Amino acid sequence: MSKKTETNNKKSYDFNLIVGIVLTAIVVIPSLIGLFWTPYNPETMNSSLKMAGPSLQHLMGCDNFGRDVLSRVMKGSTTTLLIGLGTVAFGCIFGTVVGAFTGYYGGIIDEILMRCNDVMFSFPSILLALVFVAVLGSGKYQVTVALGIAFIPSYARIVRSEYIRIKNMDYVQSAKLAGAADLRVMFVHMLPNCIRVLASSVLIGFNNAVLAEAGLSFLGIGVQPPDASLGSMLSEAQTYLFSKPGLAIAPGITLIMMVLGIALLGKKVDGKK
């Protein structure tokens, strides 16, 4: 590869990183503010403001119930963001434990846990989440747990493969010879060397969780009223797609920016150009 090509690739890489940071900040900052403050109560209805257009008082207008759209987008993106983070945390923690034990010990433990893992992994995550939502019920907490369970197999496979790769390395054998307990070897000596791979997978998983939550809420089996999420807002807006497209545009663009920004940051973590 020529020096000029390498320079162009680096510029493109840096540009993607900057765009990713900007898009993520545009979404995350209002979402964090939405945890503590919104211009109006996102659940308060005002019949006199039904379908009101943008104004100085309501920058994005009001919806069919007279609720401030900007406040609902802020609250909805907060809900979606927290569900995405909760899903990834749940799936990553339990998946890491399963992958660590199967990769480290192998044998019958590996066979039993990974066969169960393969059965779960054979189903698309969204279909598996639908099963757990049907069992657990609808709501933001139930959706978080359902998606988290559905994401366990993917993290377990990643961690297992990494543990199999590094378990015979010198520093692991040295720790064993020094008398370190198995749990210490697994989670103190070996796990830090899997962080880079996990970090990239976490960002990808976050995007998948956000899209899955949006899909479930859009179908009406995810976040339930009066709670707002980007998916539930899109579901409510579909009836007024032609008469009031702004109701769908605001949460739709927010969702796109959230997913695209995290995806671009994921390239940086993964080391791709």
pLDDT value of position 196: 83
Collect all residues with Cβ–Cβ distance below 8 Å to 118 and sequence separation of at least 6.
153
pLDDT tier at 2, thresholds 50, 70, 90: low
Q: What is the pLDDT of residues 146-167, one digit of tens each?
A: 999 989 988 999 999 999 999 8
Lowest mean pLDDT among 93-97, 151-155, 245-249, 266-270: 266-270
Spatial distance between the Cα atoms of 234 and 267, rounded to a whole number of angstroms? 28
Count of C-beta atoms within a 10 Å radius of residue 259:
19
For the chain, give the DSSP string.
Answer: --HHHHHHHHHHHHHHHHHHHHHHHHHHHHHHHHTT--SS-TT---GGGTTPPP-SSSTT-B-TTS-BHHHHHHHHHHHHHHHHHHHHHHHHHHHHHHHHHHHHH-HHHHHHHHHHHHHHHTS-HHHHHHHHHHHH-SSHHHHHHHHHHHHHHHHHHHHHHHHHHHTTSHHHHHHHHTT--HHHIIIIIIGGGGHHHHHHHHHHHHHHHHHHHHHHHHTTSSS-TTS--HHHHHHHHGGGTTT-THHHHHHHHHHHHHHHHHHHHHHHHHT--
Tokens of 99: 């992958």
The pLDDT value given to residue 20: 86
- Residue 206: CB atoms within 10 A of its CB come to 24
Average pLDDT over every residue of 82-92? 93
Say what the pLDDT of residue 273 is: 45
Is residue 264 within 8 A of residue 20, CB to CB? The reply is: yes
Domains of the chain (ranges; CATH) run 13-37+61-270 (1.10.3720.10)
The per-residue pLDDT for 73 is: 93
Average pLDDT value over all residues in the chain? 86
Q: Which of 78, 26, 63 is nearest to 213 (CA)?
A: 78
Token pair 């890491």 in the structure block, residue: 96
Its pTM surpasses 0.95: no
Tens digit of pLDDT for each residue in 3-44?
Answer: 555 555 555 557 788 888 899 999 999 999 988 899 999 988
Annotate 122-154 with DSSP letters as a single string.
TS-HHHHHHHHHHHH-SSHHHHHHHHHHHHHHH
